Amino acid sequence: MFDKKKATIFICAFLGTVITWYIQHEMGYSAIIANGIVGVLAGILLSAPVAGATYAASFVGMSSAAVLPTIGAASLAGVVVGIVLLFTTEIYAGIGGKGGTTAAFSVQVSRFIMSIFG
């Protein structure tokens, strides 16, 4: 059920979210530059399916500090997007807009979870 490929996608989705958030909010670069850095590195270093998942997850890390105010919030969102990507991989394969839709859904789920506990 949870093989090496799925574990890699989950971990890279988490890291793509958190690293993008960190580059934007802690290093002071724009969201577009942070996303671009993560996307280019993923494209160079990872296989195509894993790079695509990492890049899609990076959209979550582009959220403003008003939406994901801390690295902990970004980490939660990284876990959520990793789970969502694992459950939707085959369902929406080849459909345009999956990355943005997945990211938006994951951010909203993360905000809901944070509102319950915060």
Query: pLDDT tens-digit profile of 32-87?
Result: 999 999 999 999 999 998 999 999 999 999 999 999 999 999 999 999 999 999 98
Q: Which DSSP category does 29 fall into?
A: -
Q: What is the pLDDT of residue 94?
A: 62
Determine the angle formed by the axes of helices 4-25 and 48-61, rounding to 10 degrees.
Answer: 40
pLDDT band, very low/low/confident/very high, at 99 (cuts 50, 70, 90): confident
- CA nearest neighbour of 59 among 32, 83, 82, 79: 32
Mean pLDDT of the chain: 92
Determine the angle formed by the axes of helices 98-117 and 48-61, rounding to 10 degrees.
Answer: 50
Q: Is the dihedral of CA 34, 16, 63, 91 positive or negative?
A: positive
Q: What is the pLDDT of residue 55?
A: 95
